[in-house]
A and B are shown apart, each in its own frame.
Chain A
Amino acid sequence: MQEILTVREISKTFNLSAKQRKIEKALKKTALDKLSFSAYKGEIFGLLGPNGAGKTTALRILSTLIQPDSGDAEIEGISVRKNPDEVRKKIGFLTSELKLDDYFTPNYLFNFFSSLYKVEPSFMQRRKKELFEKFGIDKFAEVRIADLSTGMKQKVSLAIAIVHDPEILIFDEPTNGLDVLTAKIVTDFLAELKKQGKTIVLSTHIFSLIEKVCDRVGIIINGKMTVCDTLGKITENRPLEDVFFDIYRQEVGELE
């Protein structure tokens, strides 16, 4: 199997805000502690962990939005530290933190991001038709983002994240906050992308999503990778939820 994404011992510490300091009783928080994992071509790799475990930080480093304090990650052999501009050309990144401007329409935004990714106009038109039809965006292509529902916005975000047909997709909590219908569309689309040979790294705390689409899983707790293997080897036919809580108890202690 071809290793397409490699994360090598990345660490990240954040200075806490005044409010957070009162809660955490510390000046800094270690979000990632020498985290390592790999993703292979054509697989879906899931990062599973509770809120605050470091999943989003790891994906933000992969998307080059932030830099690791130490360690490095490579996407198709390109370092996120040394060559972030090139890395961004290779990936599609979707997170709930990335918002779309309320004053634009899906059509305008698709064209705008296509231009930034230097997508050929003819390919862009085909791609737009394909994705807009798939997600039903063509029905509201000229409606301003401000007037769309959360599900519609997520569909537009997803279409825009893959406007340039990237080989590697990084999705942070892709079904978070979505209604069941939109979540199903997104989940099915992930499986379809896998069939097309795309490599997907996603983070989630939803066990069923991992069980449904992921080939391999990494469980992150307190910024550390506790387990990283194929779903079958990790669960050994037990429910993933039970396995996760066993690991959590071992690492952190009983649930409070």
Chain B
Amino acid sequence: MKSNILIIIKKELHRFFSDKRMVLTALVMPGLMIYLIYTFMGNAFSGLVSPPEDFSVGVVNLPDSLPLGETILSLFGPEQVPESDIENRKEKIKNSEEDLLIVFPATFEEDISARRSPNIEIYYSSVSAASGAVYSAAVNMLDEYENSLANVFDVNKAEGGKVYDLATNEETTGFFLASMMPMLLITLLFSGCVAVSTESIAGEKERGTMATLLVTPVRRSEIAIGKIAGLAALALGCGVSSFIGLYFSLPKLMSFGGDSDLINMKIYKVWDFAALIFVLLSTACLLVSLVAIISAFAKSVKEATATVMPLMIVVVLIGLSAIFSASAKTGILWYSIPVYNSVQTINGIFSFNYSMPNTIVTIVSNFICSLIAALVLTQMFKSEKIMFSK
């Protein structure tokens, strides 16, 4: 004979996978949406920061006796424009027929020698992506030239392939991910918990199917534990789906759509991901239990989803704490605080700075809290005021 807990777990899984809409919105969409949004954002940023390949630049009074003139020629291949044609060119930029016009004063070279701070005028159109990108490139180039004129000393001048940031690429990646991942993962995991738990607890109450379960000889504690375990597995699936989306799209986002090694997830080992899965599972158990308790008070899924919002704010704030902390806490007591311990452990995993005892304390602490929550949920299932109030 199968244990009732196992039967309830199987039923929860069967219920979830029987509902195609639920599978799509809670399991497939989070990962897919994250991948598409981040990849799109990476590509969009790439378009904003890289100058277009095809552009047309005009220049008036090109200072060709200065090194600046050569730089402008090599970077933009500009057409030399007479002063009398300035208004015509401006009109063309307005109509997106041209992208940029750089106007140097006729006395630019003399003014530079006499240190009179001449004004260079650059005409562009901010509503044209190409014009805006070429404008940014031109301003950067001119700023650099101006800095070189006043050069007294350099800081970390890039020459001979010398590297000044002594952190390795892995450490840099780890530092970035350790600040971002806890908040992203905990928030996405919580969203999964809300989606599955409100439907299973408040939804069953609302539809009258909970009462059908409560008249069977199954103990209330078995229903509570079975539901929490089944829902935690589903919520973990939602979390893993989001993580897969992040895994493949974050490098694209951070390298602006390219294939840069700026964020390379391959630096993590199998056991890092194993530790992450266990921490996420224990966190899913805890979050599902908390959402289940709130859902048990609610009369409908709608009411449960609204009631759970304050908890969501607290969880997101705890997740945000990782962004502002320099590194994961080391004191073991920090790892006994539910949710915060998960944030710290995830931070530690991604920054290669986690210890086995702290990770175990996190997992055990989360499971103990889930068990306490399951006992509370059991009492709620026994309460006719909570389960059958109209």
A residues with a Cβ closer than 8 A to B are 17, 63-67, 85-86, 88-89, 93, 97-104, 108, 112-113, 115-118, 144, 160
Contact = CB atoms under 8 A, between A and B. Distances in A.
Contacts of A116: 4, 7, 216-218
B215 A63 contact: yes
Interface in B197-232: 204, 207-209, 211-212, 214-219
Contact of A103 (B15, B211, B215, B218): B15
A112 B208 contact: no
B390 interface: yes
Interface in B3-31: 4, 7, 11, 14-15, 18-19
Given A64-B215, A115-B2, A101 B15 contact: yes
A99 B207 contact: yes
26 contacts: A17-B390, A65-B384, A65-B388, A67-B384, A85-B217, A85-B219, A86-B217, A88-B215, A88-B216, A88-B217, A97-B208, A98-B209, A99-B207, A99-B211, A99-B212, A100-B209, A101-B207, A104-B15, A104-B18, A108-B14, A115-B2, A115-B7, A117-B216, A118-B1, A144-B18, A160-B212
A115 B222 CA distance: 14
A99 B207 CA distance: 7
A113 B207 CA distance: 18
A116 B207 CA distance: 20
A100 B4 CA distance: 19
Contacts of A86: 217
Contacts of B19: 103
Contacts of B211: 65, 97-99
Contacts of A99: 207-209, 211-212
Contacts, number: 61
A102 B207 contact: yes
B6 to A, nearest CB: 9
Contacts of A63: 215
Interface of A, helix, strand, loop or mixed by DSSP: loop
A144 B19 CA distance: 11
Given A17-B390, A65-B384, A115-B2, A100 B7 contact: no
Nearest to B22: A103
A207 B7 CA distance: 41
Nearest to B7: A115
Contacts of B214: 65
Given A65-B388, A100-B209, A93 B215 contact: yes
Contacts of A118: 1, 217
A89 B207 CA distance: 24
A109 B186 CA distance: 35
Contacts of B1: 118
